[in-house]
Amino acid sequence: MDKKPEKLVPEVRFKGFTDDWEQHKLGETLTGFEYGLNTPATDYDGINKYLRITDIDDVSHKFDISHLTSPKLKDDNYLLANGDILFARTGASVGKSYRYSNIDGKVYYAGFLIKAHIKDHFSTNFIFDTTLLPRYHYFVQVTSMRSGQPGINAKEYQKYIIYTPRRANKTRLAI
């Protein structure tokens, strides 16, 4: 019995998208990966929020603001901006992801997280949504296996294969 090849042209199309879906390594969709700020958390100062692995809700992948803290030392190189996705790099939460939203305000990200800034002509939302799929969870499970504590570093995350729709023009995608 012949196996049907996977379709690269989906049956459902979105306005402004053309042709086949493109295969990319995650690293090709980014301006780079950056490790987080290594400073202790302090009491929340009312402005500066500090996002740690434990502050990312396991189900919604949103910033859980029920126990807000601020970073002891503030370095604007670790502020999140539109187009940023965070990945947990070690421990039981390895692979957990979070997409920054302006609603979250002024947010610094902590040391056990890796920031990925998505290039303008790729959709941050689309790429983030791929981290919610079983295929991504399988990648995390296989890649994070270590003799000790599980972990995935930036170079390993960059190798993750994603499929993205091709956009007719190269502006930031809204989906």
Count the Cβ atoms, other than its own, within 10 Å of residue 143: 18
Domain count, the chain: 1
Contact 109, 80 (CB under 8 A): yes
In a domain, 74, yes or no: yes
* Whether residue 123 has pLDDT greater than 60: yes
pLDDT band at 146 (very low <50, low <70, confident <90, very high): confident
**Mean pLDDT in residue range 75-94:** 95
In a domain, 107, yes or no: yes
Report the candidate in 125, 126, 159 with the shortest Cα–Cα distance to residue 142. 159
Percent of the chain at pLDDT > 90 equals 73
In a domain, 126, yes or no: yes
In a domain, 165, yes or no: no
In a domain, 14, yes or no: no
In a domain, 131, yes or no: yes
User: 20-77 pLDDT, tens per residue?
Assistant: 788 999 999 999 899 999 999 999 999 999 999 999 999 999 999 999 999 999 999 9
* Whether residue 175 has pLDDT greater than 60: no
Q: Which CATH number characterizes residue 134's domain? A: 3.90.220.20
pLDDT of residue 97: 97
Q: Range of 148's domain?
A: 31-153
Q: Which residues pair with 69 in a beta bridge?
A: 43
pLDDT band at 165 (very low <50, low <70, confident <90, very high): confident
Higher pLDDT, 163 or 9: 163
Report the candidate in 86, 80, 74, 83 with the shortest Cα–Cα distance to residue 115. 86
**Mean pLDDT in residue range 112-135:** 94
Q: DSSP of 23-83, one letter per residue?
A: EEEGGGGEEEEEE-B---EEE--SS-EEE-GGGB-TTT-SB-GGG-EEESS--GGGB--TT
d(CA 99, CA 63): 9
In a domain, 110, yes or no: yes
In a domain, 1, yes or no: no
